[in-house]
Amino acid sequence: RAELLEARGLAERAAGRQVEAIALHRRAQERFVAAGQPTLAAKSLINVGANYQELEDLAAAKRAYVEAIALLDAAGVPPSYRNRLTLERNLGLLAYAETDAAELAAGIPHFEFVRAHGTPAEASEALSLLALMALELEDRPAIARRAEEILELLAGEAVIDPSTRVELRRAAGLGLLSLEDPRGEELLRAAETEAEELSPLLDFNLQYNWIDQLELAERCDEALQRRAALAERMQALTPEQRPDIFAEWSAAGPQYHCADPSTSPENNPSSPE
């Protein structure tokens, strides 16, 4: 039975055997399709995609998610259907991980879909990610537009949980900072206070991006001060509490025009090309 194949696939994934899990979920998907159950087949494909992501085969994961959306569209499910929203979010996040501008921009419609049809929490997350994507794409009109949309949301009557509020302020603040709008610093400082209280990961992500923008703007003294303060906070944590990326970020040091010239190849002949 298809349900049994699904259960076996989940067990294989839990055991770290993603290849075997993919084969089982694919067999389940085929049986669900044959039985005229496209929504269950789409769920199997979500599991296929999740396993491919764990194998870091993002192209295969994307294909599985796109295939699942086609099944749901053919079945005529409403836009608010839970697994449809999951698929759109997954595709948006895959695009957000890309460095190519065209691939990155391909994620925008997926987050727009979630923003239009998801829960308030899902819509808020999608808006913050759209703002960060605009920043990555250096799309100044979109940066300004997304920041204003976030400010409007924050000023409204919607109940926003503290972590989501930090992410919204971070996204809008970074965008406005890149536009040299003083409201950017105000938003980031407001987010900073909450982030430090909520979690090391929120704190690190906020400061990481803030320092990056300061270094891009050649505000090196401010960036160094923030680097030192963040490093001190992170070092005070146990290794398990620190974000995984902290050690790599710390070792890399300042970037862009703020990088230490003594570490550049032209000033360090012994370093490899």
Could you state, in order of their start, the residue ranges of all structural domains in the chain? Answer: 1-77
Using the predicted structure, report yes or no on whether residue 265 has a pLDDT greater than 80: no
Q: What is the pLDDT of residue 48?
A: 98
Q: Is 108 helix (H, G, I), strand (E, B) or coil?
A: helix
Q: At what angle do helices 82-96 and 38-54 cross, to 10 degrees?
A: 30
Does residue 140 sit in helix, strand or coil? helix
- In whole angstroms, what is the distance from residue 185 CA to residue 169 CA? 10
Q: In terms of C-beta density within 10 A (0-12 exposed, 13-18 middle, 19 or more buried), how is residue 239 classed? A: exposed
What percentage of residues in the chain have a pLDDT greater than 90? 92
Evaluate whether 82 touches 94 at the Cβ level (below 8 Å): no
Is the pLDDT confidence value at 176 over 70? yes
CA–CA dist 59, 57 (Å, integer): 6
pLDDT greater than 90 at residue 272: no
Quick one: which of 15, 74, 71 has its CA closest to 43? Answer: 71
Q: Which token pair is 113?
A: 């879909």
Question: What pLDDT shows up at residue 273?
Answer: 39
- pLDDT for 264 equals 41
User: Contact 38/32 with Cβ under 8 angstroms?
Assistant: yes
Number of Cα atoms under 13 Å in the Cβ half of residue 44: 27
157 pLDDT band, cuts 50/70/90, is: confident
- First and final C-alpha spacing in the chain: 58
Query: Which residues have CB under 8 Å from 188's CB, separation 6+?
Result: 169, 170, 173, 174, 177, 206, 210
- The model's confidence at residue 263, banded by pLDDT at 50, 70 and 90, is very low
Exposure of 195 in the CB half-sphere (CA atoms within 13 A):
23
Q: Which residues of the chain form beta strands (DSSP E)? A: none
- Which pLDDT score is estimated for 260? 73
pLDDT at 161 over 50: yes
Amino acid letter, 132: L
Confidence of residue 262 (pLDDT cuts 50, 70, 90): low
Query: What string of DSSP letters covers 144-184?
Result: HHHHHHHHHHHHSS----HHHHHHHHHHHHHHHHHTT-THH
Q: How confident is the model at residue 20 (pLDDT cuts 50, 70, 90)?
A: very high
Residue 248 has pLDDT above 70, yes or no: yes
- Tokens 């076996």 belong to which residue? 8
Give per-residue pLDDT as tens, 53-111: 999 999 999 999 999 999 999 999 999 999 999 999 999 999 999 989 999 999 999 99
Q: DSSP character for 254?
A: S
Contact status, residue 86 vs residue 115, Cβ threshold 8 Å: no
Query: What's the pLDDT at 261?
Result: 58
Q: How many CA atoms lie within 13 A of 130 on its CB side?
A: 25
- At 159, the pLDDT band (50, 70, 90 cuts) reads confident
Looking at the structure, give the CATH architecture of the domain made up of residues 1-77: Alpha Horseshoe (1.25)
With a pLDDT cut of 70, the percent of the chain lying above it is 95
